[in-house]
Amino acid sequence: MRKQKFISDVSGKEFPMYEKVPAGILRKPIRDLISQDKPDFDDNCSLSMSELNHYRERYITGFLESGVGQLSQLEEKVINSLKEKTLITDNPDADDKTALTFGQKLADRVAGFGGSWTFIILFAGFLFAWITLNIVFLSDKGFDPYPFILLNLILSCIAAIQAPVIMMSQNRQEEKDRERSQNDYMINLKSELEIRLLHEKLDHLILHQEQGLIEIQQVQIDMMNDILKRLEKK
């Protein structure tokens, strides 16, 4: 059985009948966009689903450009993801450990250890031992008597080294947080656009189902009329 086809009023090409989309179900922004290319496109016209998707992509691009004046790299990535039907982002933590340099790993370890209770307890024990050793056990012969000038120098050196190392780790963490926020923005934008496209597809499916039901009812009515005619003849 030969498949039925129709001719698109947009491109003039033949397409399978199941791809036919009547102009009457299209949303006004999409119809206006099609009318820019085909001024005679009205409610009696039709186009294929692939052509409709093309105009949807053009509408989405124009919608985003009208909001910011120019598409950003993130928004272009979202549109390409919609066209290619691919995942928009990967796990930002997936390649994080393998991409770290030795300095970054060391900074993370120093920052992690310096911000833990283990460090606080050990450092408090070190200070207590230092002070006790110089005051109680060594009395006036301590290597760092009160007011502990050597201890102050050591603490200042540790703080001077530890602070920039911790800042390095924090800067890298901020960069990861920035990547996560960009991923969240792209995912939310793609979700919004896909919901809009989903509404269009649902309208298309509902219309086709209604047309199918009407055709089935018409066939049933014709069958009933034939039966009635046969009964009347008898």
Q: pLDDT tens across 203-215, in order?
A: 666 766 666 666 6
Q: Please tell me the predicted confidence (pLDDT) of residue 84.
A: 64
Q: Quote the crossing angle between the two packed helices 149-233 and 102-114, to the nearest 10°.
A: 100
64 plus 110 within the same structural domain: no
What is the distance, to the nearest Å, from the Cα of residue 138 to the centroid of all Cα atoms in its chain? 65
> Are residue 177 and residue 105 in the same domain, yes or no?
yes
| 58 shares its domain with 12 | yes
- Structural domains in the chain (count): 2
- Better-scored residue on pLDDT, 200 or 185: 185
Co-location of 178 and 100 in the same domain:
yes
Same domain, 29 and 66: yes
- pTM for the full predicted model: 0.43
211, 21 contact by CB (below 8 A): no
Domain boundary residue among 145, 170, 185? 185
CA-to-CA dists, residue 26 to 20, 21, 83, 208, angstroms? 12, 8, 20, 13
Structural domain of residue 145, as residue ranges?
96-185
Cβ–Cβ under 8 Å, residues 150 and 143: yes
Within-domain flag for 191: no
- pLDDT of 1 reads 45
Average pLDDT, the chain: 76
Q: Are residues 102 and 39 in the same domain?
A: no
* Domain identity same for 107 and 179: yes
Q: What percentage of residues in the chain have a pLDDT greater than 70?
A: 69
More confident residue, 141 or 108: 108
Same-domain status, 100 and 177: yes
